[in-house]
Structure 1
Amino acid sequence: MKRHTAREKAFQILFQLDINDNEPKQAIEAFLESEESDEFLKMLVEGVTAHREKIDSIISDNLENWTINRIASVERTILRIATFELHFIEEVPKNVSINEAVELGNTYGDDKSGKFINGVLSKIIA
Structure 2
Amino acid sequence: MNRREARIKAFQILFQMDSHDITPEEAIGFSFEEENVHEFTAELVYGVLENKTEIDEEISKHLVNWSLQRIASVERALLRIAVFEIRHIDVIPVKVSINEAVEIAKEYGEENSGKFINGVLSKIVSD
What is the alpha-carbon distance in structure 1 between the residues aligned to residue 90 and residue 23 of structure 2?
Answer: 26
Q: Which runs of 5+ in 1 are unaligned?
A: none
What is the alpha-carbon distance in structure 2 between the residues aligned to residue 105 and residue 19 of structure 1?
Answer: 17
> What letter matches 1:44 in structure 2?
L
Alignment correspondent of 1:17: 17
What is the alpha-carbon distance in structure 2 between the residues aligned to residue 106 and residue 31 of structure 1?
Answer: 20
The 5 Å alignment of 1:43-58 reads: 43-58=43-58
What is the alpha-carbon distance in structure 1 between the residues aligned to residue 87 and residue 25 of structure 2?
Answer: 22
Q: Which runs of 5+ in 2 are unaligned?
A: none
State whether structure 2 residue 69 is matched by structure 1 residue 69. yes
The 5 Å alignment of 1:66-105 reads: 66-105=66-105
What is the alpha-carbon distance in structure 1 between the residues aligned to residue 86 and residue 66 of structure 2?
Answer: 21
Paired residue total: 126
Deviation at 1:69, TM superposition (A): 0.8
Alignment correspondent of 1:27: 27
> What letter matches 2:32 in structure 1?
L
- CA RMSD for the aligned pairs? 1.0
Identity of aligned residues (%): 55
> What letter matches 2:6 in structure 1?
A
Q: TM-score, normalised by structure 2?
A: 0.94
What is the alpha-carbon distance in structure 1 between the residues aligned to residue 80 and residue 112 of structure 2?
Answer: 18
Alignment correspondent of 1:108: 108
